[in-house]
Amino acid sequence: MPNKTFFWFFLPTGLAMILFIGLPILSTGIQSFYAQHDQVVKEVKKCDPFGCTVSIVVDQEKTSKIREEKPLGKFNGFGTYVDRNHLAIEEIAKFWNETNSFGEFVDQVTNLPFYKALIFTLTYCLFVTPNVLLLGFIIALSLNAVTRRIRGPLIFGTILPMIVTPLVGSLVLFWMIDAEGIIGANLQMLMDDPYLSLKSSKTLTWITIIIYGIWHHSPFAFVVFYAALQTVPQEPVEAAIIDGASRWQRVRHIVLPHIYPVVTFVALISLMDNFRVFEPIIGFSAEGSAQSLSWLIYDNLVNEEVILFGSAAATSMMTIVGIAILLAPVLIRTWKEFRTAR
Partner 1 sequence: MEYGLDKRSNALKIFNTTFIIVWLLVACFPFIWTFWGSFKVRADFFSRADWWYAITAFNTLLETGGKFTTDAYSQAWTEGEFWKASRNTVIVTFFVVTISLFLGTLGAYALSRSTRNYAFWILIAALIFRAMPHITLVSGYLFPFFQLQIWGILPTTIVVLVAINQPFTLWLLYSFFKTVPKELDESALIDGCSYFQAFRHIIMPVMWPGVITAGLFSLMLAYNDFTVTALLLNQENHTMVPKIQSYLGTNQHEGNLMWAVSAVVSATAPLFMLVMFFQRQVISGLTAGAVKG
User: Which of the residues 131 through 170 are near partner 1 (CB under 8 A)?
Assistant: 138-139, 142-146, 148, 152, 154-161, 163-168
Q: How far apart are CA 166 and CA 234, in angstroms?
A: 38
Nearest-approach distance from CB 342 to partner 1, in angstroms: 8
Q: Quick one: 108 or 188, whose CB is closer to partner 1? A: 188
Tell me how crowded residue 90 is: count the other CB atoms within 10 A of its CB: 11
Sequence-distant (≥ 6) Cβ neighbours of residue 316 within 8 angstroms: 28, 32, 297
**Which one of residues 52, 203, 338, 340 is an interface residue with partner 1 (CB under 8 A)?**
338
DSSP E strands in the chain: the ranges are 34-35, 41-48, 51-58, 74-75
Q: Quick one: 72 or 92, whose CB is closer to partner 1? A: 72
What pairing do the DSSP bridges indicate for beta strands 41-48 and 34-35? unpaired
Residue span 237-256 as binding mask against partner 1, x where in contact by CB under 8 A, dash where not: xx--xx----x---------
Q: Quick one: 89 or 324, whose CB is closer to partner 1? A: 324
**Rama region for 311: left / alpha / beta (φ>0; ψ in -120 to 50; rest):** alpha
**Which one of residues 16, 44, 106, 134 is an interface residue with partner 1 (CB under 8 A)?**
16
Q: How far apart are CA 93 and CA 108, in angstroms?
A: 11
Within 29-68, which residues bind partner 1 (CB under 8 A)?
Answer: 31
Question: Residue 186 interacts with partner 1 (CB under 8 A)?
Answer: yes
Question: Residue 261 interacts with partner 1 (CB under 8 A)?
Answer: yes
**Which one of residues 57, 89, 93, 302 is an interface residue with partner 1 (CB under 8 A)?**
302
Q: How far apart are CA 28 and CA 38, in angstroms?
A: 21
Question: Residue 182 interacts with partner 1 (CB under 8 A)?
Answer: yes
HEC readout, 78-122: CHHHHCCCCCCHHHHHHHHHHCCCHHHHHHHHCCCHHHHHHHHHH
Q: Quick one: 159 or 196, whose CB is closer to partner 1? A: 159
Q: Quick one: 12 or 49, whose CB is closer to partner 1? A: 12
Hey, is 34 helix, strand or coil?
strand
Within 68-127, which residues bind partner 1 (CB under 8 A)?
Answer: 71-72
Question: Residue 213 interacts with partner 1 (CB under 8 A)?
Answer: no
Question: Residue 231 interacts with partner 1 (CB under 8 A)?
Answer: yes
Angle between helices 113-144 and 256-275 (to 10 degrees): 150
**For partner 1, how many residues bind (rule: CB under 8 A)?**
107
CA 50 vs. chain centroid, Å, equals 59
Q: Which stretch binds partner 1 (CB under 8 A): 49-57, 60-68, 82-90, 291-299?
A: 291-299
**Which one of residues 80, 289, 291, 300 is an interface residue with partner 1 (CB under 8 A)?**
300
